[in-house]
A and B are shown apart, each in its own frame.
Chain A
Amino acid sequence: MSSSKWLAVFAAACVLVLGLAACGGGDSSSSSSSAGESSETESGGGGGEAPSTEASGEIAGAGSTAQEAAQKAWIAEFENANSGATISYDGVGSGGGREKFIAGATAFAGSDTPLSEDEGELGKAIKRCGPGELIEVPDYISPIGIVYNLPGVEELKLTPETLAKIFNQEIENWNDPEIEKENEGVELPDTRIVPVNRSDESGTTENFTDYLSQAAPSIWKHEVSGEWPVKGGEAASGTSGVIEAVSAGEGAIGYADASQAGELGKALIQVGSDWAEPSPEAAAKVLDLSKEDPELEKGQKNVIAFEIDRKTEASGVYPIILVSSLIGCTKYKSADEAALVKAYFEYAISPEGQELAAEAAGSAPLSSQLTKKVEAAVGAIE
C-alpha cells in the first residue's frame, strides 16, 4: 500500500545525499587548493627549491602499493607547486604497474622488484621506451620489521638462522633452546610459535624471502618469490592483515612494513656481531653497501638496480628492507610530457621529496651518495 511512498522517500534521500556529496566535493577541492597557496607562501624559498621549472600537463602512473602513500604525498605537494600539472598514481600492485607501463597505458610505474628478464619484461620495457631509453631508479626504501606478539617480552634478539627456522616451521616453541641462547635473562613463555605470512602476492614477501635465502642459505632453501613458499603457516592479506593477525594471536610472529607495526614488538636482527633494529637510517645504508646488478641493468646506463647485499656484516645496517623503484623513459611522445615526468621524478628523489615520504609513509630517505647517482639518471630525461 505504501511501497510507492517508501520508494519516493528513498529516492528523495538519494538525491539529497548526492547533492550533499557534490557540494562536499567542491568544498574540499577549493579548501585544498587554498591550503596549497598558503603553504607555498609560508615555505617561501624552501618550497621553490623542489621543482625548479614550472611543469604542466597530465601524466598517469601505476604500480606498487608499498609506494602509494609516498606517491600520494608527492603528488599533492607537486601539484601545489605546479598548478598546471595533474599527476595520478594508481596502486594496482607492482606487477600490474609494470604491465601497464610496458603496454604504454601509463607514463611511469612504481615497482617493488626491478624489471627482470625472467618474464622478458626488461626487454619489453626497453622496447617501449624506444627511441629513448629506459629509466629505473630506486625511490622508496622501507625497513621490514619482524613483529611479534609475546606479552612481557620487551626485547627479542634473533639470528638470521633462527629467524629462517622459525618461518620454516622448524622451531615451533618460543622456549626453544636456540632462541633462549640469544636472549639470556628474558623469560620466554612455553607458547607455540605461529609464523604469519602474507596470503596475497607481495613485494614485501619477495624482499623478505630474498633476505632469508641470502642470510641463512643453509636453512632457507625456497625460491625467492612474491608468493610465500612455506605451507601451513598463518596467512593474512595485506600489511594490515598481517599486523591484525599478529596482534590477535599470542605467540604469533610476522613480517611487515616497520612503520605499520604500531604497538607490536620488533625483533632485533643479528648483523655481523651487532643486533640491528629496523630504523630508516640503518635501512638506507644497505644500498650504499650493495653492488649494482649487471643482469638487471642490461647495459642500460639509466637503470640503477641493486643486488641488495643482505649478508652484510657492517654495523648500523638493517638488511631486511624493501626497495621500490620508479620506472620511466628518457623520451616521450611530446616534450611537455617528458618535462613533466622529469620534474616529478626529480621532486620525488630530491631530499625534500624523500623527507616528505619519510613523514607520510615512514620510509628511509635515499642516502646522499645514492641521490647523486639517481639524479644523474633522472637528468637523462629529455
Chain B
Amino acid sequence: MAHLDTTTNAGQLLAAASGGRRRQGDRIFSNIAVIAAVTILALLAGVAIFLVTEGLPALTASSSELPKGESFLSYVAPLAFGTCLAGVLAMVIAVPLAVAVALFITHIAPARLALWLGFVVDLLAAIPSIIYGLWGIFVLGPAVVPAMKWLEAKLGFIPIFEGPASITGRTMLVVGLVLAVMILPIVSAVAREVFSQTPRKLQEGAQALGATRWEMIKTTVWPFGRSSVMSGAMLGLGRALGETMAVAIILSVSGGVSFNLISQANPSTIAANIALNFPESSGLAINLLIATGLVLFVITLGTNFLARWIISRSEVK
C-alpha cells in the first residue's frame, strides 16, 4: 500500500511540473546514451592498450630472444595469411548464399514458409562455435573427403586444389565451409531486413513497367539494399576472422603460406594459434601470442574501415 501511494504521489508531482518533466527525461536519456557511447570507446581503448603493453616486449625483442628463434614478422605473417584466407573463403561461400536466402525469404517464399525459414536461419547463430567445430571434424570433414579427392583428380591443375587431398578432412576448405555456415545468419539477417524495406512504390513501379520478378529484384531491391548487404558482410567477416574454437579444433595446422585448400598442411589462423599454444606458454612466448592478437585487432579494424569507406563511396554514387 505504502509503495502504491508513493508512486501515485510521484506521478502527480511529475504531472504538475509537466514542462520540467520532459526536460528532465531528455537529460536522463541523453546522459545514459552518452555514457553508453563512452563505455564502448573506453572498452575498445582498454583492449588496445592491453594488447600494446603486453605485446610490446615481443615486438621489441630481437629474433634470437623470441621463443621460435625467428623474427616477429616472419612468425606472424603465415598466421595473418591463414586468417585472411579463411575469412575470404568463408565470405566467398556465405555472402552469395546469404543474399539468395534473404531474397527467397523476402520476395519468393510464401509468407508462412518465409517466417519459418527466417527463424531457422536465425537459429544457426545460436549454435556455439565449439559445436560447429565438433560437427566439422566428425561429420562435415569426413563427408567432404571424397569430394576433395575428386577435386584433386579433376581440378588439380588449379593451385588451390593441388592436393594431395587430406584423408581426414581437416582442411582449409572445410574450415571455410564451417565458417560460412557460422556467418550465414548474420549476413542474411541484415540482408533480409533491408530487402524487406525496399519501397513498395519502386517494386510496383518496376512491375507495372513489365519487369519480371528477377528484373524487379535486379533494378529495385538489389540497388536499394546493396550497401547494407556490404556492411552485413563485414560483420560476418569480423566473426570469421576472429573465430577461434571451431578453427582450432578442425584445422590441421602444419604448413606455412599456401593457397592449397584441400591438403593436410594448412596455415593456422591468429586466433586459433593463440588458443592452441597459450596453455603451455610462459614468459616471452605469451607476449608473442598477445602481439599476434594485436595484429588481428589491426586487421579487423582495417577491414572495417575499408568497408565503411567503400560503402560511403557507393552511397555517394
* Residues on A facing B (Cβ under 8 Å): 65, 92-96, 98-99, 119, 121, 192, 194, 197, 199-203, 226-228, 230-237, 241, 244-245, 248-252
Contact of A236 with B167 at beta-carbon distance under 8 Å, contacts A93-B279, A95-B281, A200-B277 already known: no
Judging by beta carbons under 8 Å apart, are B281 and A201 in contact? yes
When chains A and B are docked, how far (Å) is the Cα of A296 from the Cα of B249?
35
Q: Indicate whether B33 reaches chain A with its CB closer than 8 angstroms.
A: no
When chains A and B are docked, how far (Å) is the Cα of A226 from the Cα of B168?
24
Judging by beta carbons under 8 Å apart, are B276 and A200 in contact? yes
Judging by beta carbons under 8 Å apart, are B280 and A235 in contact? no
Select the residue from A92, A95, A226, A252 with max chain B CB neighbours within 10 A: A95
Which residues of A are found within 8 Å of B262, using beta-carbon distances? none
Choose one: A192, A244, A245, A248; the contact of B164 (CB below 8 Å). Answer: A192
Which residues of A are found within 8 Å of B285, using beta-carbon distances? 95
Name the residue of chain A whose CB is nearest to the CB of B281.
Answer: A95
Which residues of A are found within 8 Å of B280, using beta-carbon distances? 93-96, 200-203, 226
Judging by beta carbons under 8 Å apart, are A96 and B170 in contact? no
Name the residue of chain B whose CB is nearest to the CB of A172.
Answer: B164
> Chain B binding site: helix, strand, loop or mixed by DSSP?
loop
Judging by beta carbons under 8 Å apart, are A200 and B254 in contact? no
Select the residue from A227, A233, A248, A252 with max chain B CB neighbours within 10 A: A248
Judging by beta carbons under 8 Å apart, are B282 and A199 in contact? no
CB distance from A339 to the nearest CB of B (A): 29
The 6 closest A-B pairs by CB, nearest first: A93-B279, A249-B167, A201-B280, A200-B276, A95-B282, A249-B168
Q: Indicate whether B248 reaches chain A with its CB closer than 8 angstroms.
A: yes
Which residues of A are found within 8 Å of B68, using beta-carbon distances? 227
Name the residue of chain A whose CB is nearest to the CB of B264.
Answer: A234
When chains A and B are docked, how far (Å) is the Cα of A197 from the Cα of B265?
11
Select the residue from B68, B265, B278, B283 with max chain A CB neighbours within 10 A: B283
When chains A and B are docked, how far (Å) is the Cα of A232 from the Cα of B256?
8
Judging by beta carbons under 8 Å apart, are A231 and B255 in contact? yes
Could you list some 25 contacts between A and B, CB below 8 A? A92-B279, A93-B281, A94-B280, A95-B280, A95-B285, A96-B278, A96-B282, A119-B282, A119-B284, A199-B253, A199-B254, A199-B268, A199-B276, A200-B280, A201-B280, A203-B280, A233-B252, A235-B251, A235-B252, A235-B253, A236-B170, A237-B249, A241-B137, A241-B249, A252-B167
Which residues of B are found within 8 Å of A192, using beta-carbon distances? 164, 167
Which residues of B are found within 8 Å of A203, using beta-carbon distances? 280
CB distance from B286 to the nearest CB of A (A): 8
When chains A and B are docked, how far (Å) is the Cα of A278 from the Cα of B283?
34
Judging by beta carbons under 8 Å apart, are B277 and A245 in contact? no
Chain B residues touching A, range: 20 to 34
Contact of A234 with B166 at beta-carbon distance under 8 Å, contacts A119-B283, A200-B280 already known: yes
* Residues on B facing A (Cβ under 8 Å): 68, 137-138, 141-142, 164, 166-170, 248-249, 251-256, 264-265, 268, 276-285
Which residues of B are found within 8 Å of A251, using beta-carbon distances? 167
When chains A and B are docked, how far (Å) is the Cα of A65 from the Cα of B279?
9
Select the residue from A202, A228, A230, A236 with max chain B CB neighbours within 10 A: A236
Given A245-B137, A248-B168, A249-B167, 18 other A-B residues pairs in contact with their CB atoms under 8 A = A93-B278, A93-B279, A95-B279, A96-B278, A194-B167, A194-B168, A197-B254, A199-B248, A199-B276, A200-B280, A201-B276, A230-B254, A231-B255, A231-B265, A235-B170, A236-B170, A245-B168, A245-B252
When chains A and B are docked, how far (Å) is the Cα of A236 from the Cα of B284?
25
Which residues of B are found within 8 Å of A241, using beta-carbon distances? 137, 249
CB distance from B150 to the nearest CB of A (A): 17
When chains A and B are docked, how far (Å) is the Cα of A230 from the Cα of B255?
9
Which residues of B are found within 8 Å of A230, using beta-carbon distances? 254
Judging by beta carbons under 8 Å apart, are B167 and A250 in contact? yes
Judging by beta carbons under 8 Å apart, are B282 and A121 in contact? yes
Which residues of A are found within 8 Å of B166, using beta-carbon distances? 234, 249
